[in-house]
Amino acid sequence: MNRKIISVINQKGGVGKTTTIINLAAGLSLKEKRILVIDLDPQGNATTGLGLSNSGTSDNTIYSVLNGNKKISDVIQKTEFENLDIITSNVDLSGLEVETAGDSRRAFKLKDELASILNDSRASYHYILIDCPPSLSLLTIMALVASDALVVPLQTEFFALEGLTQLMKTIERIKSNLNPILEIRGILLTMYDKRNKLSSQVETEARNFFKEKVYNTAVPRNVRLSEAPSHGVPVLIYDKLCPGSKAYFSFTEEFLEQEKEIETAA
């Protein structure tokens, strides 16, 4: 099975990263794909957005795996959505960088642990999706080292592309030193407002620069998108017909089409 570990990443906060991961996960699971979401953000928003608690009392989290106390297979939890599992996160994760300071292989910890899932035929996920924190920290480096590809949500607002140059530099560094196969799978335009001239300017710039890497779907600003997480439900399930849901359904289709193209090219 062609397993893909994909990180959703942008070191800027508030660009729709977690919204993208929970709705891509939900969209793929509705298409009969088995999905594992790894919440690698100490804020734990993907955890609560999929209906689980990030209160900090559980030790069945990604933190317990990365600090060496648990095996990754022990902390996978079911969500209430079919085909969709999660490894949760909480605020404990923010201490990891300091605690692992002496470990020279710490950048590979997540990759090493994920190898055990990938080699376990019972787990058989089609995709493992990693929600990265909004910074270029150790956690992000761990995700970049473990991933096959990246999806980058890009907010169609001023300075959006400037932020990307920093991310691109980091990706290049990781490629040359730690993970030669890493690539950007696609750029997803988020918070798009077609009445706003700036949105279309950012879109034009992004398409000129990244060409076909930019998905055709652009996710609009949509109240339902911001309401859904507080109910612990992806917007695709919370309100199937709102503009945000339609965009994420369409993004899921594009994502799967892309997979076919990658396989044919290979």
Whole-number Å distance between alpha carbons of 254 and 266: 18
Ordered by where they begin, the domains of the chain are 4-257 (3.40.50.300)
Q: What local confidence, expressed as pLDDT, does residue 1 receive?
A: 43
Question: From the CB of residue 1, how many other CB atoms can be counted at a distance below 10 Å?
Answer: 9
Q: What local confidence, expressed as pLDDT, does residue 159 receive?
A: 82
Q: What local confidence, expressed as pLDDT, does residue 266 receive?
A: 67
Q: What is the pLDDT of residues 99-155, one digit of tens each?
A: 888 888 899 999 999 988 877 766 689 999 999 999 889 999 999 999 999 999 999
107, 66 Cβ separation under 8 angstroms: no
Q: What local confidence, expressed as pLDDT, does residue 122 receive?
A: 64
Q: What local confidence, expressed as pLDDT, does residue 27 receive?
A: 97
User: Which residues of the chain register pLDDT less than 50?
Assistant: 1
